[in-house]
Amino acid sequence: MDKSADPPYVRIVAEIRESIDTGVLAPGDRVPSTRDITRRWNVAMATASKVLTTLRQDGLVRAVPGVGTVVADRAPESRNRPRAQPSEPAPTLTKERIVAAAIAIADAEGLAALSMRRVASDIGVATMSLYRHVDDKDGLLLLMLDSVFDELGFPADPPADSRGKLEVAFTTLWAMFRKHPWLAPALSLTRPQPIPRGMAHTEWVLQALDGQGLDLHEKFTIHLTLFNYVRGMAINIEMESEAEAMSGLDNDKWMATQHQVLGAILASGTLPNMAQLFAAQYDFDLDALFEFGLQRLLDGLALQTA
């Protein structure tokens, strides 16, 4: 039979399955994420998601919170292994397990891969069983947001000065956005979600501005300005991940493909500063841009409260 006639996802599943069966991918090893699959096999994100879904349904892989999708401990010999005895009950389904599985999916593959059915598949339960703990997908997303905001915490011994406290609050927030690229696009500034732990972060920032001669309205405006600056920068993390997944090119490789076009535009001599930047190959570093912008904002706030 001509395997080339098979749907793309079937061929990809077969390749990954072979790697698992032959031990190239051992239990606990990460398997390609949806983004990896789109780049390596040049397929759409929907096809990549179907590959991982098929592997999970076959019991070959599982999702690990904070890690991604890995080879299941039961693969590949699980197909011949007796079922567990009733004395070995499966872990109880809880809201925490559901949220952890959902975050693992979003971290590894983005929010586009998240669905109630997908979460249920990763946990190994019926989809309808999730609704005993979570209202719907929107409710699940709120729980995910609240859970990741709990990672921020608050330093037991914060800086004494207001600027130092703000710097801690928003560099920590940036690190959280870095860890969870889906988080920034999921948050809304104009229609803020009811996230208790997120509100606790806001409260901490407002208290950090005490003693600066600001009323509560001014303090909240400062918080929103800083928060949206960090969130706005962080949106680029997810956008770049998606662009890389779809194109198969990282930022440097993509820029290389634009070299000739940009060179032709700048050859006119009407954009001398841009031409110099192009010739010098500006080092685009998102973390450095974030830090530069944050410090300039804090400088401006220091002048306002002086």
* Residue-by-residue DSSP string for 254-270: HHHHTHHHHHHHHTTSS
If asked whether residues 231 and 289 sit together in one domain, one would say yes
Last residue of a domain, one of 85, 116, 134: 134
If asked whether residues 292 and 197 sit together in one domain, one would say yes
Q: Is 248 helix (H, G, I), strand (E, B) or coil?
A: coil
Domain with 22 in it: 3-134
Fill in the amino acid letter for 228: N
If asked whether residues 172 and 232 sit together in one domain, one would say yes
If asked whether residues 46 and 89 sit together in one domain, one would say yes
Residue 139 located in a structural domain: no
* Per-residue pLDDT at 175 exceeds 80: yes
Q: What is the CATH number of the domain that holds 97?
A: 1.10.10.10
Give the tens place of pLDDT for each residue, 79-99: 444 444 444 455 688 999 999
If asked whether residues 195 and 83 sit together in one domain, one would say no
Looking at residue 201, its pLDDT comes to 93
If asked whether residues 280 and 204 sit together in one domain, one would say yes
Cβ atoms of residues 121 and 61 within 8 Å: no
Give the tens place of pLDDT for each residue, 57-83: 788 888 775 567 888 885 444 444 444
If asked whether residues 174 and 117 sit together in one domain, one would say no
Residue 198 located in a structural domain: yes
Distance of CA 250 to the CA centre of its chain: 17
Percent of the chain with pLDDT over 90: 37
* Per-residue pLDDT at 246 exceeds 70: no
* Per-residue pLDDT at 239 exceeds 90: no
Give the tens place of pLDDT for each residue, 21-35: 888 888 888 888 877
Last residue of a domain, one of 117, 134, 151: 134
Looking at residue 306, its pLDDT comes to 66
* Per-residue pLDDT at 50 exceeds 90: no
Give the tens place of pLDDT for each residue, 141-151: 999 999 999 98
Q: What is the CATH number of the domain that holds 259?
A: 1.10.357.10
Cβ atoms of residues 145 and 187 within 8 Å: yes
If asked whether residues 117 and 211 sit together in one domain, one would say no
Residue with the bigger pLDDT between 97 and 256: it is 97
If asked whether residues 21 and 130 sit together in one domain, one would say yes
Last residue of a domain, one of 96, 115, 134: 134
| Domains held by the chain: number | 2
Q: How far is CA 252 from CA 177, 237, 255, 256, 288, in A?
A: 22, 15, 5, 6, 17
Give the tens place of pLDDT for each residue, 199-217: 999 999 999 999 888 999 9
If asked whether residues 88 and 170 sit together in one domain, one would say no
Looking at residue 251, its pLDDT comes to 75
Residue 144 located in a structural domain: no
If asked whether residues 194 and 64 sit together in one domain, one would say no
Looking at residue 3, its pLDDT comes to 52
* Per-residue pLDDT at 108 exceeds 50: yes
If asked whether residues 57 and 128 sit together in one domain, one would say yes
